[in-house]
Amino acid sequence: ETGVTQSPTHLIKTRGQQVTLRCSSQSGHNTVSWYQQALGQGPQFIFQYYREEENGRGNFPPRFSGLQFPNYSSELNVNALELDDSALYLCASSLRQGGNNEQFFGPGTRLTVL
Amino acid sequence: QKEVEQDPGPLSVPEGAIVSLNCTYSNSAFQYFMWYRQYSRKGPELLMYTYSSGNKEDGRFTAQVDKSSKYISLFIRDSQPSDSATYLCAMSPLSYDKVIFGPGTSLSVIP
């Protein structure tokens, strides 16, 4: 059983650019959530995807968008990057079954916006 | 007032000590409560997952939830240097719902 993987590990962009981050869910999981973690803070929920549909969104602007693919892998896209977008971006996968909400996190992608 | 409050520490204890980590929350709709451990430059690792009020024990870790007081705790017995990390409490109102995290408590266990 493979865990959650994310790519790339690190990324440096300049303000105004666009970025795509990728996540492969843990085997057998059908739900993926994305979080933004600023330095010294807890993760903040961006959105969740279930069966390729967005299923809940946090307080993030529309320039944050996502996709989930039939194999349950996922992308996070951020347009018009701002300096405050510099953070660790985490994806978490889970299996929507019964009353289970256990989410398993990947190692994250560290994004720096200059 | 933030939805989830957690003392950021840092907390420093000698090896073998009992560690108590706590969070308070304001949203009475929260029903699922979690504790994650995060090592530097790594993703959070799920330690404990509980539903509603009560206690749950797993090895050296015990999680307590008191919904009437909106207060949750994680106890670590016989703490080890390898327990040095940031501990994040997290909670959600419904199964499959978004998870709200506290800011984390930094713990150092000194040999």
User: A24-63 pLDDT, tens per residue?
Assistant: 998 888 899 999 999 989 999 999 999 899 988 999 999 9
- At a CB cut-off of 8 Å and minimum separation 6, what does B69 contact? none
Residues from chain B that touch A43, judged by Cβ atoms under 8 A, are 44, 88, 101
* Whether the Cβ atoms of residue A108 and residue A89 lie closer than 8 Å to each other: yes
Which residue in B44, B51, B92 is closest to A43 by CB distance?
A: B44
The closest of B105, B108, B64 to B84, measured between CA atoms, is B108
A-contacting residues in B 33-62 (Cβ below 8 Å): 34, 36, 41-46, 49, 51
Tell me whether residues B104 and A90 touch, CB distance under 8 A. Answer: no
Distance from CA of B108 to the nearest CA of A (A): 16
The closest of A67, A65, A86, A76 to A14, measured between CA atoms, is A86
Examine the pLDDT at B102 and tell me if it is beyond 90. Answer: yes
| A21-30, A60-69, B56-65: the lowest-pLDDT one | A21-30
| B24-38, B45-59, B70-84, B85-99: the lowest-pLDDT one | B85-99
Q: Copy the structure tokens of residue A95.
A: 């299996």
The pLDDT confidence band at residue B101, using thresholds 50, 70 and 90, is very high
Residues from chain A that touch B100, judged by Cβ atoms under 8 A, are 45
* Whether the Cβ atoms of residue B19 and residue B110 lie closer than 8 Å to each other: no
The residue with greater pLDDT, B41 or A61, is A61
Q: Is A50 on the interface with B (CB under 8 A)?
A: yes
Helix (H, G, I), strand (E, B) or coil at B102: coil
Residue of A101, A102, A105 to mutate when probing chain B, most B C-beta within 10 A: A101
- Cis amide linkage into residue A8, ω under 30° from 0: yes
Q: Copy the structure tokens of residue A17.
A: 């650019």
Which residue in A42, A50, A56 is closest to B88 by CB distance?
A: A42
Instruction: Give the count of alpha carbons within 13 A of B49, CB side only.
Output: 11
Q: Is B92 on the interface with A (CB under 8 A)?
A: yes
Q: In angstroms, rounded to a whole number, what is the distance separating the alpha carbons of residues B39 and B68?
A: 32
**DSSP one-letter code for B77:** S
Examine the pLDDT at A1 and tell me if it is beyond 70. Answer: no
Distance from CA of B32 to the nearest CA of A (A): 8
Q: Is A96 on the interface with B (CB under 8 A)?
A: yes
Residue A106, pLDDT score: 95
Share of chain B above pLDDT 90, in %: 78
* Mean local confidence (pLDDT), B16-42: 94
Tell me whether residues B49 and A101 touch, CB distance under 8 A. Answer: yes
Q: Which residue has the tokens 């000194």?
A: B110
Q: In angstroms, rounded to a whole number, what is the distance separating the alpha carbons of residues A44 and A35?
A: 5
* Whether the Cβ atoms of residue B74 and residue B47 lie closer than 8 Å to each other: yes
Q: In angstroms, rounded to a whole number, what is the distance separating the alpha carbons of residues A61 and A38?
A: 16
Distance from CA of B70 to the nearest CA of A (A): 19
